[in-house]
Amino acid sequence: MQVTETLAEGLKHEFQISVPASDLDAKADARLVDLKERVRLNGFRPGKVPVSHLKKVYGRSVMAETVEQTIRDTNTKIFTERGFRLATEPKVTMPTEEKAVEDILAGKSDLNYTVSIEVVPTIQLADFKGFSVEKPVADVTEADVDEAIKRIADQNRSYAAKADGAKAETGDRVTVSFKGSIDGTPFDGGIGENIQVVIGSNTFIPGFEEELLGLAAGETRTLKVSFPKNYTNLELAGKPAEFETTASLIEAPQDTEINDEFAKTLGLESLDKLKEAARVRLTVEYAAATRQRVKRMLLDRLDEAHRFEAPPSLVDEEFNLMWNSIKGEMESGGKTFADEDTTEEAAKEEYRKIADRRVRLGLVLSEIGEKNKITVTEDEISRAVIERARSMPGREKEVWEYYQKNANALAQLRAPIYEDKVVDFILELANVTEKKVTREDLYKDDDAEKTAA
């Protein structure tokens, strides 16, 4: 066998491999000998079929299997000897001309092929004991608790009918019946009876709620709106529609008195118990926000300390996922890059930088975990599945079965658990100090999360 490296450019390598026909023939004959003990052919006793006859019957398929296995084994040997860690699957280029393929399968020609690879660079990890991380901590104040309870009251507010002839305003709840059509033709799912719509809640397709402004009970109006381009029903996505809509009731929101009686409507004994529950929930939320801020700071530090060329194919893959998502969001919202005070070229450049960062950080976290034997246990995966199932009441069994049958879904659960364990490992070594901050300061950098790994 002859191996010639024809390209060594950054993280990209290419090899030309030639395997003599005699080697392939010997391997194929060995497979036929093994097959001799297992195959059953009419006219021959078990184990007594001549290899020459087997070659006539199975020679082509056995040689095809031999070629496939030889390529796998040869590639593995090449990569292992050179200490390569592959970033992507190797690309194998074989002869395509019919005669060339036939000659190889007939054992008349050497196997010549090219394999192209992209490798993961060698990563020199930083000394994490030299990392300094400032941990922002916010206390839950009485004002925070009162604000949280006010939000709960607003979410559970009651509505009262407005006077005859009163017009619908933002915040009002309008009960409507409608019939939808596109180009004058009704469509499936376009009919609604006695549907309650809170104007300003943004629960209906864009424009629908705004078109209800000024409507009175008993009044009929034709609402002209368009379905979002990313609407789940592809037959309706992006199309303009008309809804002949009649309002039967206009209700105004009522102020909710926050007292013991209100707490009891939520299943709690008193207002004090409601405040206690709100404080516990806020404490958990603040802790999660603190964790997220610390994690972002740590990832920034890892990014600064590990500068290397990321495998281009992985960066391209990450960028394409992000870019397709961004384009979809902008199209569904009817926005342009000019609305965001940028250009498509500038946005692409920015997101490619983010993709490069994500790939590098992913490789660094993987290297840290591998070198320090950090793993995710089956118990941790099971707990994550159970937690996901609990978040979907009534569908627990369906969720559980989905993850049991879907390896990719389990991998998606495993990834954040693994990342968090690596982060915790680094924080154990780093110099972490606490800093008291306000709630506003704790949450002010949420937009930066898009750059996290």
Residue 215 sits in a domain whose CATH number is 3.10.50.40
pLDDT per residue over 281-320, tens digit each?
999 999 999 999 999 999 999 999 999 999 999 999 999 9
How many structural domains are present in the chain?
A: 3
Same domain, 376 and 418: yes
Q: Do 311 and 412 have their domain in common?
A: yes
CA distance 137 to 294: 10
Determine the average pLDDT of the residues in 26-34.
84
Domain match, 397 and 423 both: yes
Q: Domain holding 114: CATH number? A: 3.30.70.1050
pLDDT of residue 255: 87
| pLDDT band with cut points at 50, 70 and 90 for residue 238 | confident
Residue 106 counted as domain residue: yes
| 126 within some domain | no
Average pLDDT over residues 225-251: 90
Q: How confident is the model at residue 133 (pLDDT cuts 50, 70, 90)?
A: very high
pLDDT at 277 over 80: yes
- Residue 340's pLDDT band, with cuts at 50, 70 and 90, is confident
Per-position b or e across 43-56, b if 16+ CB within 10 A of its CB: eeeeeebeeeebbe
Q: Do residues 88 and 174 share a domain? A: no
Residues 113 and 68: their CA atoms lie apart, in Å, by 12
Chain segment 58-109, per-residue pLDDT in tens: 778 888 999 999 999 999 999 999 999 999 999 999 998 999 999 998 888 9
232 shares a domain with 111: no
Structure tokens at 42: 């009419």
Core vs surface per residue 296-318: b (16+ CB within 10 A) or e? bbbbbbbbeebeeebbbbbbeeb
Given this model, what pLDDT does residue 233 score? 84
Percent of the chain with pLDDT over 90: 73
For the chain, give the mean pLDDT: 90
Q: Is the pLDDT of residue 172 over 90?
A: yes
In the predicted model, is pLDDT for residue 450 greater than 50?
no
**Do 326 and 239 lie in a common domain?**
no
State the pLDDT confidence band at 451, using cuts at 50, 70 and 90: very low
- Which residue, 219, 253, 287, sits at the end of a domain? 253
Query: Six-digit token pair at 353?
Result: 């930088």
Within a domain: 138: no
Same domain, 299 and 434: yes
Inside any domain, residue 140? no
Which secondary structure element, helix H or strand E, spans residue 86, and what is its range?
none
* Cα 48 → chain centroid: 57
Pairwise CA distance, residues 137 & 209, whole Å: 40
On whether both 342 and 445 belong to a single domain, the answer is yes
| Domain, as residue range, for 195 | 158-253
**pLDDT for 92:** 96
Q: Is 416 helix (H, G, I), strand (E, B) or coil?
A: helix
Name the domain boundary from 99, 118, 137.
Answer: 118
Nearest one of 385, 440, 439, 442 to 417, comparing CA atoms: 385
pLDDT at 51: 65
Are residues 274 and 200 located together in one domain of the fold? no
Look at residue 280 and tell me if it is in a domain: yes
Q: What is the domain-level CATH number for residue 303?
A: 1.10.3120.10
**Residues 302, 411: one domain?**
yes
Q: What is the pTM of this model?
A: 0.73
Q: How confident is residue 392, by pLDDT bands cut at 50, 70 and 90?
A: confident
Pick from 226, 253, 280: which residue ends a domain? 253
* In a shared domain, residues 13 and 62: yes
Residue 297 lies in a domain: yes
pLDDT for 237 equals 85
Q: Is residue 416 part of a domain?
A: yes
Q: How far apart are CA 336 and CA 319, in angstroms?
A: 19
**Same-domain status, 299 and 440:** yes
pLDDT band, residue 452 (cuts 50/70/90): very low
Confidence of residue 424 (pLDDT cuts 50, 70, 90): very high
Within a domain: residue 426? Answer: yes
